[in-house]
Structure 1
Amino acid sequence: MKTKIALITGGYTGEAEVSFKSSAFVYSQLDHNKYDIYQITITKDAWFYVSDSGIKHAINKEDFTLVLDDSIVQFELAFIMVHGSPGEDGRLQSYFDLVGIPYTSCDALTSALTMNKGYTKAILADLNDLFLAKSVLLFENQRAQAVELVEDKLSLPYFVKPNAGGSSIGMTKVKVADELKVAIDKAFDAENTGSQVIVEEFVNGREFSEGIYRNVDGELVVLPATEVKTTREFFDFEAKYIPGLTEEITPTDLDVNQQLRIGKILKDIYVRLNCKGMVRIDFFLENDTDKFYFIEINTIPGQTPQSFIPQQVRAAGLTEQEFYGNLIEVALKK
């Protein structure tokens, strides 16, 4: 009998559009001979499944079941493909913990923590060989004196971004002091990104993104790295989602020593943050020092055909079906 999988998509933020694309790709790659897969859409207004005939069926939120053709569908696993809230900030994970359904992502605590860039950096501060850009964490009640707080501790240029949220929404690179206040206000006012802003000193180096996951044998597997080269000022929302603005090189030309170093660092990050499933970690390699600087971690990374993780899976000699199947089997073991 097939395992019943709820493939969760949608969400409460502007990242829902990307979630729909990610879930559609995952659905196309999963083994339908082995898994019975239902795409479940989550919005602020409703949680539902759309049948082949186009009829919308509501999810019973009391136990996450679905009434279909006079029978009750009980799911054995949730494959979470919701970028942003509530899929990436721990809310869905808490719900599934309450109703007793395993899921493919990090747990609620790790998901909530890693959505907060400043808190994540604090947890990672003493890891061997990992460096962190100097930063200032700003709260809403510090907004009036934010410029002074930043200029007192950091040197230009800066990256200003919401302390929660993804897809580089609300993010600005600040090169002159006069631009700082506007950038801070933009980050504070970005929708669905919390009421905190993080400002970091600029790191001059190459930018990379690399996936890591645990396989069915319990081993941590680091995927080949992707180097990101963009014609934009930085890897912002447009660079991420408008074709032609960014060159992505997978696998990239890190030398053997660099690959070994970053592989160990990524495993240490995964363990320190108690990650589960697949995560993607972004980092800089500083030009003059050869030091690896942490940027951020993404616990529900994009899964369109062009996304980093699928690129890296193919570069590793795996198929997406094998990779996603591994995530499912590991989660079911919980």
Structure 2
Amino acid sequence: MKKKVAIIMGGYSSEYKISLKSGTVVYEYLDKAFFDAYRIHIFKDKWIYVAPDNTEHLVNKDDFSVLINNKTIHFDCVFNAIHGSPGEDGLMQGYFELLGIPQTSCDYYQAALTFNKRDLLSVLKAYGIKSAASYYLNLGDTIDEDAIINKVKLPCFVKANKAGSSFGISKVHKKEDLQAAIDNAYKEDDEIIIESFLNGTEVSVGVIKYKGETKVLPITEIVTENDFFDYEAKYEGKSKEITPARLSKIQEENVIKAAKKAYDVLKMKGFSRSEFIFIGDEPYMLEMNTTPGLTTESILPEQAQKAGISLGDLFKNAIDEVLQ
């Protein structure tokens, strides 16, 4: 009997449009011979099932069921394609764990930890995974520009602590631009991380649980036309994504080791895509995404295809892993 799979997409953050694209790709490529797929849009004002004819049916939040033609549909599994809150920060993961419904992304603790850049990098530091020098701010804190610059130097990056797709990120070259960058980051989150600029090759490393084993996918090198890998570079063609990355053997070995170690020590499952910058042969982690983009142009699906894994196989494997 085919399994009923709810593909959740949308979300509450600035990334909702990207999530809708990811979820639609999952819906289109999921093997209909094995699964009955349902598009579920999650927004602050409504949770709805969007039928093939685009009619909308409300989701019952008590048990995550849907009433269609007087028949109640219960789901065997949830495929999580929400970038940002509430799909990447642990909220949906905790909800589905309480309901006893398997879902394809990591568990709620890992989601909350990885979504918080400051906490993630602090935890992984104990395992020998390097990161840039950083300075933390919370909304309402006194801003000591001299102390910030003394700690991280210039240029530096000002980032919203809990946001994706480069929303709330600025590269600051001059002291007089620091306040505007901080204000921009606060539009996305009430916590900020300010990091030193690492001048080196940037790579993105996908790691998945595939057929029961942790698998590191072919590495992607990021070459941007802009000052950094911002939203425009990611989604509007202002960058080149080269897979496999042009790395030395030792660089490749070191970043594979770091990405796999981070995945395993955090007891991850599902997809992850971690960003690193090399200083010499050493990779420095920037962040880890646990519901990365899943469009046909997104990095992780392209890496999977380079590894000989089709989109249909990638999505089916994610469901098979959690149903086992």
Same structural fold, with TM-score higher than 0.5 when normalized by the shorter chain: yes
Aligned match of 2:310 in 291, 297, 319? 319
Partner of 2:202: 207
Aligned to 2:84: 84
| SS of residue paired to 2:201 | strand
Identity of aligned residues (%): 40
Q: Residue type of the partner of 1:296?
A: E
State the Cα deviation string for residues 195-226 of structure 1 (Å, max 9, x = none).
1100000001011101001122x211000011
Match of residue 185 from structure 1: 183
CA distance in 2, matches of 1:219, 1:260: 18
What letter corresponds to residue 185 of structure 1 in structure 2? D
Conserved 8 A contact 2:136-2:193:
yes
Counterpart CA distance in 2 for 1:28 and 1:196 is 37
Give CA-to-partner distance per residue, 1:47-67, whole Å, 9 cap, x none. 111223332111110000111
Corresponding position of 2:138 = 139
Normalised to the residue count of structure 2, the TM-score between the two structures is 0.97
> Which residue is equivalent to 1:226?
220
1:86-105 alignment to 2 at 5 Å?
86-105=86-105
Distance 1:25 1:55 in 2: 19
1:50-199 pair list within 5 angstroms: 50-128=50-128, 130-142=129-141, 144-190=142-188, 194-199=189-194
Once the two structures are TM-superposed, the CA of residue 250 in structure 1 deviates from its matched residue by: 1.0
Does structure 2 conserve the Cα–Cα contact (< 8 Å) formed by 1:138 and 1:146? no
Q: Structure 1 residue 168: deviation in Å?
A: 0.6
CA spacing shift, 1:3–1:182, aligned 2, 3 Å: same
- TM-score, structure 1 normalization: 0.94
CA distance in 2 between counterparts of 1:205 and 1:80 reads 33
Tell whether the 8 Å contact from 1:227 to 1:249 is kept in structure 2 after alignment.
yes
Q: Contact (CA 8 Å) 1:76, 1:101: kept in 2 or not?
A: yes
**Match of residue 294 from structure 2:** 303
1:63-114 C-alpha deviation (Å, 9 max, x unpaired): 0011112211110100000111111111111111111101000111111111
Q: Partner letter of residue 103 of structure 1?
A: Q
- The one-letter code of the counterpart of 1:227 is E
Cα RMSD for the two superposed structures: 1.2
In the TM superposition, residue 146 of structure 1 has moved relative to its aligned partner by: 4.1
How far 1:317 moved relative to its partner?
1.3
Deviations 1:135-181 (A, max 9, x none): 01111131x32424312422111000101110111111011111111
**Alpha-carbon distance change, 271 to 146 in structure 1, aligned in 2, over 3 angstroms:** farther
Give SS of 2:72's match. Answer: strand
CA–CA distance in structure 2, aligned partners of residues 199 and 49 of structure 1: 40
Counterpart in the other structure of 1:330:
321
Aligned residues: 324
Partner of 2:258 in structure 1? 265
Structure-1 separation of matches of 2:59 and 2:289: 27
Structure 2 letter corresponding to 1:199: I
Separation in 1 of the partners of 2:99 and 2:208? 25
Q: Which segments of 5 or more consecutive residues in structure 1 lack a partner in the other structure?
A: none
DSSP-derived class of the 2:276 partner? strand
Ranges in structure 2 where 5+ consecutive residues have no aligned partner: none
Q: For the Cα contact (< 8 Å) 2:59–2:66, is it kept in 1? A: yes
Q: Which residue of 2 aligns with 1:2?
A: 2
Counterpart position of 2:249: 256
Tell me, what secondary structure is at the counterpart of 2:143? helix
Tell which deviates more after alignment, 256-265 or 168-177. Answer: 256-265
CA distance in 1, matches of 2:83, 2:187: 19
